[in-house]
Amino acid sequence: MHEIYMFGDSHCRIFFRKLDKINRENITFYNMYQSKVSLRGLINKNSKLKYRDYIMNTLKNLNTDTIICLKFGQIDLEYVYYYKKYVKKQDINLLEFIDETLEIYMSFIKEIHNAGFKVIVISPNLPNPKYFLPTIQESIGIKIKIEYMDLCNTFTIFNEKLENYLRNDNINFFNIFPIIGTKDFNNQYTLKEEFIGLDHHLKGGEHCSILDKQNPNYGINENNLLINSLYNYISSSKLLI
């Protein structure tokens, strides 16, 4: 039985809902996510969440045959950037912010890869058109105006650059954009209607308090589609050799 540990923010729930682990034939996926973790927090020595310490301490107890999945970036794009721009009043350029964030991500990915682990990076989710704005406004405490297509463009740029960096370093990338999104003639993705959830997460990956109030079958199809797609991606690669 192969073991796969997934680390990231709460948007990992789209694979697991509230389960600690999921079995798929010869693979066990372990859910190690933590809410509100950002990439920039991974290098912040004063981080209250201390998620980097949690990840590195967990890896110390794992065999290097274990596959590590990383799913980060959503918090940085939907919160950190706007917090710096509107709360901290920093003169911050979006493209520079994306590049700096990706530098942090790639450094962290390589650190784990160089420790002997096989790594799969999973793309962030696309923003939810119904709930992205109130979520951002509530998070930073300011009523700002953001256009949905502009935010989707930000996610598309981030994801394309991430994929290029990973390709150049021969790191595995599981891109869920083609599964959950629709691409326009400008190669920009927006979220498919069937994946629109009841908060800023995807359907089936909402906050646990929301999931608890739904029919037990709510979002199950979306969960199964994504975990099965990830399983198929891994099974068809050389990661299990």
Residue 189 lies in a domain: yes
What is the structure's pLDDT at 48? 86
Residue 81 lies in a domain: yes
What is the structure's pLDDT at 22? 96
Q: Is the dihedral of CA 110, 112, 117, 120 positive or negative?
A: negative
What is the structure's pLDDT at 114? 92
Residue 36 lies in a domain: yes
Residue 241 lies in a domain: no
Judged on CB neighbours under 10 Å (0-12, 13-18, 19+), 191 is buried
Q: Which domain holds residue 76?
A: 2-236
Residue 118 lies in a domain: yes
Low-confidence ranges of the chain (pLDDT < 70): 241
pLDDT per residue as tens digits for the range 105-114: 999 999 999 9
Please state whether beta strands 2-8 and 67-71 pair in parallel, antiparallel, or not at all (unpaired). Answer: parallel
d(CA 166, CA 224): 26
d(CA 87, CA 125): 25
pLDDT per residue as tens digits for the range 118-172: 999 999 999 999 999 999 999 999 999 999 999 999 999 999 999 999 999 999 9
- If phi > 0 it is left, if psi is from -120 to 50 it is alpha, else beta; for residue 219 that is left
Closest CA to 7 of 105, 126, 151, 139: 105
Domains identified in the chain, total number: 1
- We report the CATH number of the domain holding residue 96 as 3.40.50.1110
What is the structure's pLDDT at 46? 80
Neighbours of 198 (CB within 10 A): 18
